[in-house]
C-alpha cells in the first residue's frame, strides 16, 4: 500500500505491523457480545472502558484482568466510533444477530496482522477438509522461521483456530474441520464496505479479499447485495453487467475526502 493510502486506512481503523491480539487471545466473541449488549450504540471509548474496567460487565476476577481484557478488545475492535470500521460494524451488529460472528471476524482481520496471516490459508480449505494446528504453525514460520519460538507458534495457532471456530468457519474441539459459515446480506454489506475503504469500486468490489472470504457463488453474493439494498443497508444497482454500490451515511464528508485523496 502507498504511504498515504496506508495512513488513511489506519485512520479508518485498520492496524498494520506484524503482531496483534492473537498472540494471547482469540477474537473474544463472547466478551464482545456481552459488552455490546450492555453499552449503547452511542458510546465512545471511555464508556466501553468504564463498562469493562470499572463496572466489570464481563465478570473478570481482578482489576488487572479487566484492564488486560479491555486492552485486547481495543486491539481487536477499536471500540471507538471515530474509527469508521468500528462505527459501521456497530451499526450493522445491531441490525442482524445472525451476521455477528462473521462481522466480528472481519473487524478482527482488519485489526490484527497476525490473524490476517491465516486468511488465505483458511479460505483455501474445502468444506469437510481437516485443518491441522501444525499447518498453521508452519504458516507462521514461513517468512521468518526464527521470529517465534515453537511454544509461541503453538499458542498463536490455537488462538487463530479458536477465532475461525467462533466465526463458524471451523468445527471441532481438538480436531478442526472446515465448514461453511452462516452469512447474511449484512455480512455482504460490510465486506463491500471494507473493499470500498481499500479503494475498490463497481465490479471490483465483488472480487475483493473480503467478498472472497464469504461462501457462495458470485450470483448468490449478488443476491445478498440486492437483499442488503432492500433492507436499506447499501445502495446497489446492477444493470447491463455494470455494478454500482454506494454507502450512504457510512462515512462523514471528511472521511470521504480522505478516502479519495
| Residues 39 and 87 placed together within one structural domain of the fold | yes
What pLDDT does residue 152 have? 87
Range of the domain at 167: 118-178
Residue 2 maps to a domain? no
In contact, 115 and 163? CB cutoff 8 Å: yes
Residue 88 maps to a domain? yes
Q: Give the Å distances, CA to CA, from 174 to 128, 131, 150, 257.
A: 15, 10, 19, 48
pLDDT digits 0-9 by tens, 176-222: 999 999 999 999 999 999 999 999 999 999 999 999 999 999 999 99
What pLDDT does residue 52 have? 98
Q: Give the bridge partners for 243, in sequence order.
A: 238
Domain harbouring 199, CATH code: 1.10.10
Per the model's pLDDT, the better-predicted residue between 103 and 142 turns out to be: 103
pLDDT digits 0-9 by tens, 137-181: 998 888 777 778 889 889 999 999 999 999 999 999 889 999 999
- Of 178, 212, 229, the residue that ends a domain is 178
Residue 49 maps to a domain? yes
How far is the C-alpha of 117 from the C-alpha of 140, rounded, in Å?
7
User: Which spans in the chain are helix H?
Assistant: 3-12, 29-38, 45-49, 63-77, 84-95, 100-111, 113-116, 119-124, 133-140, 150-166, 185-197, 209-213, 218-230, 253-260
| Residues 91 and 109 placed together within one structural domain of the fold | yes
What pLDDT does residue 91 have? 97
In contact, 214 and 221? CB cutoff 8 Å: yes
How far is the C-alpha of 94 from the C-alpha of 32, rounded, in Å?
13
| Residues 173 and 190 placed together within one structural domain of the fold | no
Rounded to two decimals, the pTM is 0.95
| Residues 171 and 204 placed together within one structural domain of the fold | no
**DSSP-derived secondary structure for 46-110:** HHHHIIIIIS-TT--SSHHHHHHHHHHHHHHH---TTSHHHHHHHHHHHH-STTHHHHHHHHHHH
| Residues 138 and 191 placed together within one structural domain of the fold | no
| Residues 76 and 141 placed together within one structural domain of the fold | no
| Residues 135 and 197 placed together within one structural domain of the fold | no
Which candidate, 195, 191, 176, places its Cα nearest to that of 106? Answer: 191
* pLDDT at position 40 over 90: yes
Which phi-psi region, left, alpha or beta, contains residue 78 (left: φ > 0; alpha: ψ -120 to 50)?
Answer: left
What pLDDT does residue 149 have? 87
* pLDDT at position 72 over 50: yes
How far is the C-alpha of 167 from the C-alpha of 40, rounded, in Å?
23
* pLDDT at position 2 over 60: no
| Residues 172 and 194 placed together within one structural domain of the fold | no
| Residues 56 and 147 placed together within one structural domain of the fold | no
| Residues 149 and 134 placed together within one structural domain of the fold | yes
pLDDT digits 0-9 by tens, 116-127: 999 999 999 999
What pLDDT does residue 1 have? 43
Residue 51 maps to a domain? yes
Banded pLDDT at 240 (limits 50, 70, 90): confident
Residue 3 maps to a domain? no
| Residues 51 and 97 placed together within one structural domain of the fold | yes
Grid coordinates representing 65 are: 484482568
| Residues 104 and 16 placed together within one structural domain of the fold | yes
Residue 1 maps to a domain? no
Mean pLDDT of 21-27: 93
- Of 59, 89, 113, the residue that ends a domain is 113
Structurally, the chain folds into a number of domains equal to: 3
Q: Give the Å distances, CA to CA, from 230 to 115, 207, 234, 235.
A: 33, 22, 8, 8
Grid coordinates representing 150 are: 515453537
Across all residues in the chain, what is the average pLDDT? Answer: 94
- Of 83, 113, 143, the residue that ends a domain is 113
Amino acid at each position: 500500500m502507498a504511504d498515504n493510502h496506508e495512513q488513511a486506512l489506519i485512520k479508518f481503523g485498520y492496524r498494520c505491523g506484524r503482531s496483534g491480539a492473537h498472540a494471547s487471545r482469540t477474537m473474544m466473541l463472547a466478551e464482545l457480545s456481552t459488552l455490546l449488549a450492555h453499552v449503547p450504540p452511542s458510546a465512545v471509548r471511555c464508556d466501553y472502558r468504564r463498562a469493562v474496567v470499572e463496572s466489570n460487565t464481563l465478570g473478570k476476577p481482578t482489576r488487572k484482568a479487566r484492564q488486560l481484557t479491555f486492552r485486547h478488545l481495543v486491539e481487536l475492535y477499536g471500540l471507538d466510533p471515530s474509527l469508521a470500521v468500528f462505527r459501521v460494524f456497530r451499526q450493522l451488529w445491531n441490525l442482524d444477530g445472525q451476521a455477528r460472528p462473521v462481522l466480528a471476524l472481519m473487524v478482527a482481520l482488519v485489526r490484527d496482522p497476525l490473524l490476517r496471516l491465516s486468511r488465505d490459508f483458511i479460505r483455501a480449505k474445502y468444506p469437510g477438509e481437516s485443518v491441522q494446528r501444525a499447518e498453521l504453525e508452519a504458516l507462521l514460520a514461513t517468512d521468518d522461521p526464527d521470529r517465534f519460538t515453537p511454544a509461541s507458534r503453538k499458542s498463536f495457532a490455537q488462538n487463530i483456530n479458536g477465532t475461525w471456530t467462533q466465526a463458524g468457519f471451523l468445527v471441532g474441539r481438538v480436531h478442526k474441520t472446515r465448514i461453511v459459515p452462516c452469512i447474511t446480506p449484512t455480512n455482504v454489506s460490510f465486506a463491500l464496505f471494507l473493499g470500498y475503504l481499500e479503494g475498490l469500486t463497481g465490479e471490483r468490489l465483488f472480487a475483493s479479499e473480503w467478498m472472497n472470504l464469504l461462501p457462495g457463488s458470485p450470483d448468490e453474493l449478488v443476491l445478498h447485495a440486492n437483499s442488503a439494498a432492500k433492507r436499506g443497508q447499501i445502495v446497489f444497482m446492477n444493470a447491463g453487467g455494470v455494478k454500482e454500490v454506494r454507502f450512504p451515511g457510512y462515512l462523514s464528508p471528511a472521511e470521504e475526502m480522505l478516502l479519495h485523496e
